[in-house]
Copies of this chain bind each other. A is one copy, B any other.
Amino acid sequence: MRYHRFEKNLPFTDAEFERRLALVRAAMDRAGIEVLFVTDPSNMAWITGYDGWSFYVHQGVLVFHDADPVWWGRNQDANGAVRTVWMGDDRVIGYADNYVQSTERHPMDDLAQRLIGMGLGTTRLGVEMENYYFSARAYMALHDALPGAKLIDATALVNWQRGIKSDEELVYMRKAAAISEKIVDGLMERVEPGVPKNEVVAEIQRDAIMGIDDDWGDYASIVPLLPSGSDAAAPHLTWDGRPFQKGEATFFEISGCYRRYHAPFCRTIFLGEPPDIFRSAEAALVEGLEAGLDAARAGNRARDIAEALAAPLERAGIERGARCGYPIGLSYPPDWGERTISLRAEDETILEPGMTFHFMPGLWMSDWGLEITESILITENGAAECFCDRPRKMYVKP
Contact = CB atoms under 8 A, between A and B. Distances in A.
Given A198-B210, A209-B201, A236 B335 contact: no
A17 interface: no
A326 B57 CA distance: 13
Contacts of A207: 202
A101 B342 contact: yes
Interface stretch (A92-100, A272-280, A309-317): A92-100
Nearest to A196: B216
Contacts of A217: 198, 202
A90 interface: no
Interface size class of A (residues with CB under 8 A): 35 or more
A344 interface: yes
A79 interface: yes
A165 interface: no
Contact of A333 (B211, B333, B366): B333
- 10 closest cross-chain pairs (CB), A and B: A216-B241, A136-B139, A80-B234, A198-B216, A56-B335, A79-B234, A130-B137, A205-B205, A202-B209, A129-B137
A324 to B, nearest CB: 10
29 contacts: A52-B236, A52-B238, A54-B236, A55-B334, A56-B132, A75-B321, A76-B234, A79-B233, A79-B235, A80-B234, A80-B235, A83-B237, A96-B321, A101-B339, A101-B342, A104-B346, A127-B136, A129-B137, A136-B138, A136-B139, A197-B216, A199-B210, A202-B207, A205-B205, A205-B209, A206-B206, A209-B239, A218-B238, A333-B333
Contact of A238 (B53, B136, B202): B53
B211 A198 contact: yes
A366 to B, nearest CB: 8
A321 B134 contact: no
Interface string A62-94: 000000000000011101100110000000000
A231 interface: yes
